Structures are given as C-alpha cells and as structure tokens.
Amino acid sequence: MTTKKGEMSVAGESLREYLDYDFDPRVYDLVEAWTMGSHGTEEPLFKRFTAFPIIIMEQGVQTGKSQTMKVCVMLVPKGKLASYMTGPVMRDLADEGYALFCDDFHKIDGEVAGILKSGYQKDAKRQKKVYDKETGQWATQEFDIYSPKMVSTNKPLPPEVTDRMLRLPTYGTARKMPQVDASDPMWAEAKRDMTDRVMRHWEDILSEYDRFNAMAGKTKLIAREIELWKPLLSIGRATGLRVEPLAEDMVKEARIGKTSENPEYMLLEWLEKEAAKPDYKPGYHYLSNDMDSGVRTMLDPGQLSFWNGTQPGKLLDRLFKFPQGRKRFKRTDKGRVYYTDKDAIREAREVRPL
C-alpha cells in the first residue's frame, strides 16, 4: 500500500511478499483495508460500523486461499484460524472478540449458516440454553457474533449466505510462496504499524463513514452493496488505499453475475428489454404467464432448470414487501402488475429481497 505520503506500509510489504495478487494489485489494498478494521486501542474499528463485510474465497484448490488466511490472521490483533470450524466454535470465538478465519468449509449446518447470514452486522446475536447448577434452572445465554470473518470453500454455499459476503478473487501462482512463520518479528511490527495508522486516521475514517459518498467511481452503490462496501471505502479514502476503483469493478461484475443466477434479476432484466422497445407504452399490464414465457426465452438450459417452477408473481410478491417495491409497483386486478414508467423498471434492480 502506498500511503498519502507515498510510503509503503509494513503490512503492505508483507502482503506483497507472502501473497500473489499480481493479476490485480488493487486486491492487496482491499485486504489491507479489511484487516485494518480489526485494529484500535479501546475498541476495534469495526465496532464503530453498523456492518463489516465477510470475505469469501470460492476458488479451487491451490489458488492461495489458505495462504491468504495464514497471512491475514497474522495481521490482526486477535484472530483465530481453523479448518472445518463448527457453528458453536464460531459463536463462542466471535463473542470473545476474535476475527475468524474459517478454512475449507465442507458442511454448512443451521448454526453456521445463521452466523454467516447475520454475523456481519452490529448487534447480531445468537442464543443458547445453559444449565445453571446452583439454581437447577436452564437460562438463556446471549452471544455477540458480530466480528470480522474470512471463509473459504471448495463447494458452493447457499446464495442467501454468499449474498452477504464480498468475494475475494484468488488464482494459482507459479511463484513459490514463503511459509508464514508466526515467530517472525515482522508480524508484530506490521500489527503495530497498522494500529498506529488506524489511530492516526481514526477521525478521518469515521468522518468518511458518517458522510459516506455512495459512488464507487462512476457507479452508484445500492442496497446491500452500500452495507458491504461502506466500511472498506471509508478506510481506503481516509488512508490512501486504492479500494474504490476495485470496488467499482467488483460491483459491476457481481451485478452481471446476479442477472444470471437470481430470479428477481432475470425478471427485471426482461422487463427492462420490454420497456426499451419502440412500441412500449408506460403503464403496460403484464400477466404472470407473459412474464414467465418472456424470461424463459432469455435462458440457457442450465438456467431453465433454476427458473423451473418459480412463478414471477411470487417473486414480485417478495419485492412488494420492501418500501422501494411499494413505490415502484402497483397491484391491479386479475393478477396483473402495473409498472409506472421505464425508470421504475430500471430502478427496480435496487430492490433486493433478504
């Protein structure tokens, strides 16, 4: 990382020595900004945010996922790295304030899924019944599961879980990467340097966060994009890390992916094309079966299996639950849906079901 004064940080040097992100050097800055969130004195920086993104790495074997975790756990003041981390372990460690590095998930049970779905948000809690020997009664114990988390997997996780994460790209490398030696004094120096920089820029970071500009380059962030990117962009803008240009590219890429994997986006993409036709009339009434057949014409065989059995009317019902949806859509009789104008259809992409 090159700071505003043009100097490379100790953490930036270590990231470049132990990791190979040469395919896009901006990833070094993204990882550095993320690890900075765990630093502070009286409390870690991430505690001042309403959410802090979970990083996920989904690539195949030998692409640097484990090496990334081994390096990052050395750069945070209080981190725990483990393979196949269970839900109860994640819950207890998060409650104790650890940044979690969960390598090679092979099974996502209900407890793990619950922690990953909500543990990136402030005040997220999990409960457990604990037996009190003195009173002979069962009592409810509450655990704080809000903490920085980085996970890797070779198997696809449920979309309702990954939708709450930032995907970090990793690739195989021909370089022989050095082994991470926890006893190397460099790591202690890197952590001290990172804490010092966080404290020097503490007010600047919070100022950027409080008056957050939701533009990443020329791209306006929407919905959960803001929630996930706001902390990292604030850190980057305050410290000189090159997070913003990478954020713009990653958001664009994620949106393209969602048009092919998310039914709501498939439907809205088709409606946008309909609205772009020369004979389009504002206020056109679309029947559910019209929308269903229209979307099907856009899909390849693999996507058809994903769409099969999902009716557009049900998807729109989900959109109606949110204030943005109520403003942009209006119910009519006999199952029709009334769209106010072209802009309403285009802007409907901002409505993301939870």
Summarize pLDDT for 195-205 with one digit per residue, the tens: 999 999 999 99
Write down which residue in 164, 192, 220 finishes a domain: 192
- Tell me which residue range forms the domain holding 295: 266-350
In a domain, 78, yes or no: yes
In a domain, 307, yes or no: yes
In a domain, 102, yes or no: yes
- pLDDT at position 125: 93
pLDDT for residue 207 is more than 60? yes
One domain, residues 179 and 274:
no
- pLDDT at position 326: 47
**DSSP states of 170-227:** ----SS-PPP--TT-HHHHHHHHHHHHHHHHTHHHHHHHHHT---EETTEE--HHHHH
| pLDDT band at residue 208 using 50, 70 and 90 as cut-offs | very high
Buried residues in 166-181 as b, exposed as e (16+ CB within 10 A): bebbbeebeeeeeebe
In a domain, 129, yes or no: yes
What's the rounded Cα separation, in Å, for the pair 124 and 128? 14
One domain, residues 303 and 179:
no
The β-bridge relationship of strands 149-153 and 165-167 is unpaired
pLDDT per residue as tens digits for the range 103-149 = 887 667 788 888 999 999 999 999 888 888 888 888 888 999 999 99
In a domain, 221, yes or no: no
Which of the residue ranges 151-155, 193-197, 296-300 has the most confident prediction, judged by mean pLDDT?
193-197
Write down which residue in 153, 170, 192 finishes a domain: 192
User: In which residue are the tokens 């079901």 written?
Assistant: 353
CATH of the domain at 76: 3.40.50.300
pLDDT for residue 17 is more than 90? yes
pTM of the model: 0.74
- pLDDT at position 334: 43
In a domain, 310, yes or no: yes
Domain count, the chain: 2
One domain, residues 171 and 278:
no
pLDDT (mean) for 235-249: 96
User: In which residue are the tokens 């900075």 written?
Assistant: 36
- What's the Rg (C-alpha) of the chain? 23
In a domain, 141, yes or no: yes
| pLDDT band at residue 233 using 50, 70 and 90 as cut-offs | very high
| pLDDT band at residue 341 using 50, 70 and 90 as cut-offs | low
Which of the residue ranges 164-168, 219-223, 319-323 has the most confident prediction, judged by mean pLDDT?
164-168
Average pLDDT across the chain, whole number: 81
Write down which residue in 192, 219, 234 finishes a domain: 192
Q: Which residues, 6 or more positions from 38, have their beta carbon under 8 angstroms from its beta carbon? A: 44, 45, 46, 76, 77, 78, 79, 99, 148
pLDDT (mean) for 166-176: 88
Taking residue 46's Cβ as centre, other Cβ atoms within 10 Å add up to: 23
